[in-house]
């Protein structure tokens, strides 16, 4: 298994870590990035938060809502 060498990942790295395309990752992952500076270029995803999201699928309970599901619920 290829574990990341850093704890904070760009969106591209986070998507790759999950085995997803960036578009799919953006649509299904409820993990919010951390702003470590100004601008989108400085947003990073915490590997531990991503791992918690992935582990939630194994726990048997409902998975957290994706951004898409959150928006649909608001309609």
Structure tokens at 68: 């898409």
Residue range 8-27, pLDDT digits in tens: 999 999 999 999 999 999 99
Q: Quickly tell me which residue has 């299904």 as its tokens.
A: 28
What percent of the chain shows pLDDT beyond 70? 80
Q: Is residue 24 a part of any domain in this protein?
A: yes
DSSP, residue by residue, 20-44: --HHHHHHH--PPPEESSSSGGGEE
Q: Is residue 17 a part of any domain in this protein?
A: yes
Q: Is residue 2 a part of any domain in this protein?
A: no
Structural contact between residues 31 and 53, judged by C-beta atoms closer than 8 angstroms: yes
Average pLDDT over residues 36-42: 90
Given this model, what pLDDT does residue 62 score?
A: 62
Given this model, what pLDDT does residue 71 score?
A: 66
Q: Is residue 1 a part of any domain in this protein?
A: no
């Amino acid at each position: 298994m290829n574990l990341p060498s850093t704890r904070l990942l760009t969106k591209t790295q986070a998507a790759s870590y999950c085995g997803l395309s960036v578009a799919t990752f953006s649509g299904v992952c409820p993990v919010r990035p951390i702003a470590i500076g100004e601008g989108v270029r400085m947003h990073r995803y915490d590997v531990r938060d991503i791992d918690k999201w992935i582990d939630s699928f194994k726990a048997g309970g409902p998975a957290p809502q994706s951004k898409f599901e959150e928006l649909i619920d608001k309609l």
